Amino acid sequence: MDLKQLRTFRAVAELGSLSKAADRLRAAQPALSRHIKLLEHELRVELFVRNGRGMLLTSAGRMLLDRTTGLVRQIEQVRDDLQSAEGNPSGRVILGLVPTVSAVFSGRFARRVITEFPQISLRIVESYGGHLVEWLHRGEMDLAIGREDVAVVGPPGSGLARKKQVDLKWLVKQNLIVPSISHGMRALLEKAVARERLTLKPMIEADSYRAQISLMEEGLGYTLLPPSAIRAELAARRLEMAALVPSVSRELILASPIDRSTSIATTTISTLIMSEIEQLSKQGLWKIKMTG
């Protein structure tokens, strides 16, 4: 196995298509197909099932992806560090963000990276906390740091803005739109409700915060979200918000894999993340308490 073959394999596995992998790697599709065939010949197994929808991993392919992801990233980062040591930081950095953080953070941060570190290629992956932790253990991502209170959010005309604050006893009696039980925000809410010896009975479960916003704008119920994620909706009076008493906070962690050293490009991006969060906080765009 060589690095080109493994990079081709990873790209096809992630995208499910030779043509999409060719676009990402900026290589000819026949060359990538040849890499895959040589790799399958060397390993004496089929790595993909080819069908009309694209290329799907076989069980052997999934095993190869799991076993080599961290290894390929390490080799790529060694190359990036050697190039960075002679000049400006360069290389690829993969940043994982939960959706509500991505909404307030991604655009501004990507602009800073392009302006200040044009030789760093930033990839932003948006998903929920459990997925990010899994990918982090596989050696692929960093996650922003902070602690942010969430607020009760409801439809226009709900009276939340007038109330300014509500308690959990009031909240559990409302029509609630909350994430499913596997979601970190739901776990926090369940714990808070249990401490008050109350019962949570959601009307609708929606893991997408965009879906939650849409449902609330239709007047269907209430949810908990960080104020930073709904600034536009609040300003346009499409939603109303009130503080929750006692408050419910969630913790976001800037993390890197513990089984390998951090690249120069990743360290640069980590420092820039902290700088951007601090600026957002000072400008009142993100109410967040920094931790060490």
**What is the Cα–Cα distance from 64 to 6, expressed in whole angstroms?**
9
- How much is the average pLDDT of 227-240? 87
**What is the Cα–Cα distance from 8 to 36, expressed in whole angstroms?**
7
Q: What is the pLDDT of residues 237-257, one digit of tens each?
A: 999 999 998 887 666 667 666
- How much is the average pLDDT of 133-151? 64
Q: What is the pLDDT of residue 183?
A: 75
Quick check: 145 pLDDT over 60?
no
Quick check: 130 pLDDT over 60?
no
- How much is the average pLDDT of 195-221? 90
Q: What is the pLDDT of residue 34?
A: 94
At 280, list the tokens: 């957002």
Tracing tokens 């081709």 back to the chain, one arrives at 8
- Distance from CA of residue 50 to its chain's centroid? 30
- How much is the average pLDDT of 45-74? 87
Q: What is the pLDDT of residue 142?
A: 63
Q: What is the pLDDT of residue 292?
A: 46
Looking at residue 155, the DSSP 8-state letter turns out to be: -
Decide: 222 and 171 in contact? Cβ < 8 Å. Answer: yes
Quick check: 144 pLDDT over 50?
no
- Distance from CA of residue 135 to its chain's centroid? 10
**What is the Cα–Cα distance from 239 to 223, expressed in whole angstroms?**
11
Quick check: 146 pLDDT over 60?
no
At 275, list the tokens: 């700088």
Decide: 168 and 224 in contact? Cβ < 8 Å. Answer: no
Position with higher pLDDT, 116 vs 274: 116
Q: What is the pLDDT of residues 76-121, one digit of tens each?
A: 888 888 888 878 899 888 888 877 788 888 999 999 999 999 999 9
Q: What is the pLDDT of residue 137?
A: 63
Distance set, CA 126 to CA 94, 103, 129, 130, 137 (Å): 11, 10, 10, 12, 16
Q: What is the pLDDT of residue 291?
A: 52
Quick check: 128 pLDDT over 80?
no
The model's confidence at residue 232, banded by pLDDT at 50, 70 and 90, is confident
Q: What is the pLDDT of residues 151-185, one digit of tens each?
A: 899 999 999 989 989 999 999 999 999 988 877 77
Tracing tokens 């009975």 back to the chain, one arrives at 201
**What is the Cα–Cα distance from 119 to 169, expressed in whole angstroms?**
52
Position with higher pLDDT, 190 vs 73: 190
